[in-house]
Amino acid sequence: MAHTNYLFTSESVSEGHPDKVCDQISDAVLDAFLENDVKLGISDDSLVNTRLGCETLATTNKIVIAGEGRGQSPLFRKHGDKAVVDRELITKIARDVVKDIGYDQDGFSYYGADVEVLLHGQSPDIAMGVDAKKHASGEEEGAGDQGMMFGFACTESEVYEKNSFMPAPIYFSHKILKVLSDKRRSGQLHDLQPDAKSQVTVRYVDRKPVGATKVVVSTQHTAESRNGNKYTPGLIKEMITDAVASALPEGWMPKDANFLVNPTGNFVVGGPDGDCGLTGRKIIVDTYGGYAPHGGGAFSGKDPTKVDRSAAYAARYLAKNVVAAGIAERCTIQIAYAIGVADPMSVLVDTHGTGLVPESKLEEVLPQLFRLTPTNIRRTLKLNRPIYRRTAAYGHFGRQPEADGGFSWEKTDLAAAIKSAVQ
């Protein structure tokens, strides 16, 4: 029997969380490569573009940037038989990210941290499998790795935020931290510091979200207020209550006992000084908060030829357009690839009993409307642009499409075609 009344919990982390600091540095490096491609006139249609897999580690006043890539950027150029990176430029990118996030502390500072750059050239064996080859439909890049990617969309948050098509627990977990970040940056909550986490438990009745039963927020803060008074968890709770309530629908804010703030005590030492960060450790935060499946790969630091990233975006795009077309209330799509092969190994559509047409019909129609090769995904969604650092905090999905092409996978411009094709 279907479980219709239940509680579901998701968490989010702020841009100052150690892992998210690393995600943003990796994606800022990627953006710098792609920005140079744009300057050189290398378009989305080009098969000669940046390849990058960039990983970052951050700990007490130390940042390590490693990985491999190739491209025509001055950041990464050929020197004889080897690719050489401009370590000074990449170091500056990392420092600028840390400064923008707001870290200027004894244990982790944008100017005081030691930055080590260990990027190197891409393996020729990987390049051979990924570079474009002749196919019946023309030249196509092969998938950058094997793996399975998932996309998901649902209608449950539409009553609260149009065009989000996201599960409510992760959507509001993100929103709480974004509101707190905006108020920290504006000076309204100037004693908050960048590191923070949130967790929202949502009650469902007949599979519809009806309220939050518990909300947990842990937020870094200064030891004392500007007038010299020492902070306690109670004072921090009092400080942020209105901001947290403003991020939730009316009537959702739980009663005082079910709103927990810094439950372990004061949170003064935070960020990479308090906990080592790594790229790619918050993949559930990045996607659907555990409400839907996740593939094996992370997103940040990977160029758009890598299906870990681009195919997850494509799967979300298709799932969202299926739901936006009114064909289903919930939709999960899985796509699987083999390294070096352009076409997917399989495509699965699951509408969780809410679909108005057979899932087999969608599995037939969707790849015809939107070819799921790495080349077509990259070109159609226009992914060869410097749009990635903004994705690295507060979720890759449930955001609004932006004028410069950011979050292009959140468009619903395929919905009409899907609806027509299955009628």
264-267 contacts, C-beta under 8 A, 24 or more apart: 264/218, 265/233, 266/221, 266/223, 266/231, 266/232, 266/233, 267/195, 267/218, 267/219, 267/220, 267/221, 267/236
Structure confidence at residue 141 (pLDDT) = 83
Report CA-CA distances (Å) from 53 to 12, 78, 130: 24, 17, 13
pLDDT digits (tens, 9 = 90+) for 319-342: 999 999 999 999 999 999 998 889
309 and 357 share one domain:
yes
Together in a domain, 306 and 416: yes
39 burial via Cβ count (<10 Å: 0-12, 13-18, 19+): exposed
- Domain identity same for 338 and 245: no
Tokens of 109: 């500072």
Query: Percent of the chain at pLDDT above 90?
Result: 78
Tokens of 289: 């908060």
The pLDDT of residue 340: 85
251 & 317 share domain: no
Based on the fold, state whether residues 221 and 175 are members of the same structural domain. yes
Residue 75 lies in a domain: no
Could you write out the three-class secondary structure of 323-337? Answer: HHCCCCCEEEEEEEE
Residue 51 lies in a domain: no
- Asked whether residue 108 is domain-assigned, the answer is no
Mean pLDDT (whole number) for 65-90: 76
Residue range of the domain that includes 246: 6-13+167-268
Q: Inform me whether the pLDDT recorded for 196 exceeds 80.
A: yes
3-state secondary structure of 201: strand
Residue 296 burial (CB count, 10 A):
11
CATH at 231: 3.30.300.10
Q: What pLDDT shows up at residue 4?
A: 86
Domain match, 219 and 260 both:
yes
Note whether 367 and 361 are within 8 A (CB). no
**Among the listed residues 280, 301, 283, 300, the one whose alpha carbon sits nearest the alpha carbon of residue 292:** 283
**Mean pLDDT, the chain, integer:** 91
Say if residue 232 is in the same domain as residue 302: no
For residue 194, being part of any structural domain is answered with: yes
Query: Do 306 and 144 contact (CB within 8 A), yes or no?
Result: yes
Cα separation, 248 vs 269, in Å, equals: 28
For the segment 337-359, the average pLDDT, to the nearest whole number, is 95
pLDDT band at 83 (very low <50, low <70, confident <90, very high): low
Residues 255 and 308 grouped into a single domain = no
* Residue 70 structure tokens: 């190739």
**315 and 229, same structural domain?**
no
Instruction: Quick: pLDDT tens for 26-76.
Output: 999 999 999 988 887 877 777 667 889 999 999 999 999 999 988 766 766
- pLDDT tens-place string over residues 132-142: 555 545 567 88
CA–CA gap between residue 286 and residue 166 (Å, rounded): 12
Residue 389 included in any domain: yes
- Are 243 and 333 in a shared domain? no
pLDDT of 8 over the 80 cut: yes
Q: Are 264 and 302 members of one domain?
A: no
Residue type, 216: V
| pLDDT tens-digit map of 107-145 | 999 999 999 999 987 655 555 555 555 554 556 788 878
pLDDT(206) > 70: yes
| CB of 195 closer than 8 Å to CB of 32 | no
The candidate with the shortest Cα–Cα distance to 116, out of 32, 55, 72, is: 55
Helix (H) or strand (E) holding 293: none
Among 223, 247, 268, the domain-final residue is 268
Query: Is the pLDDT at 1 greater than 60, yes or no?
Result: no
Report pLDDT for 71.
Answer: 74
| pLDDT tens digits, 285-316 | 999 999 999 988 999 999 998 999 999 999 99
- Pair (247, 309) in one structural domain: no
Q: What is the pLDDT of residue 39?
A: 83
Which residue carries 């870990």 as its tokens?
A: 308
Domain count across the chain: 2
Please, are residues 73 and 33 in contact by the beta-carbon 8 Å criterion?
A: yes
